[in-house]
Amino acid sequence: NGDGATSAAPSGWAGIRVYGGSASAHLENVQIRYAAAGAQSGISVENGAYTEFRDGLLWNNSVGVNCSYSSGVLTNSEVTRNEFGLRLNNCAGFTIGGSLDTRNTLMANTTQAVFNASAPSVDATYNYWGDRTGPRHAGNPSGVGDAVSDFVNFGFFVGLTADAGLDQEVES
């Protein structure tokens, strides 16, 4: 930032906001850390906006991605050490992973990796949830990975992190 020596700290800034029906953002190979100032998120996608986040890192934010009445794609990324990895409200068009080639690592998020407030379910298939048993949820009684809410399709979870190659088991 050019103002001399600085240190990153939790709640150090308000994150990136994509707002409105014609707004869109394509973020690739980006690391977003320590966003939480003013109750913001690493990325906030709101009111009809669209965001693609690929090959990135959302780490140590209050919320990695906050989506409200919008859509987007999260692929080949690591979402870790946030309070919520993703918090979704009326974001039916949001896809988290969706295939082995586009899987994410969602782990060490303290409250939930994915919280979806309402139906329909969001597609969060083919992701690693911090453990090969998959996410914690009533629909996956043996899962000990990061927790997910209802309205999250977490089927076909993978047993290794997203950067670990494709020779791995897929669970359903």
How many whole angstroms separate alpha carbon 21 and alpha carbon 38? 23
For 140-155, write each residue's pLDDT tens digit: 999 999 999 999 999 9
- Residue bearing the bigger pLDDT, 115 or 93: 115
Which pTM was predicted? 0.88
Contacts of 164 (CB under 8 A, 6+ apart): none
pLDDT mean over 47-69 = 95
- Residue bearing the bigger pLDDT, 166 or 140: 140
Residues in the chain, total: 172
Return mean pLDDT, the chain: 89
Partnered with residue 94 across adjacent β-strands are 72
In the chain, what percentage of residues exceed pLDDT 70?
Answer: 85
- State the pLDDT confidence band at 6, using cuts at 50, 70 and 90: low
Radius of gyration of the chain (CA): 15
Residue 50: count of CB within 10 angstroms of its CB? 18
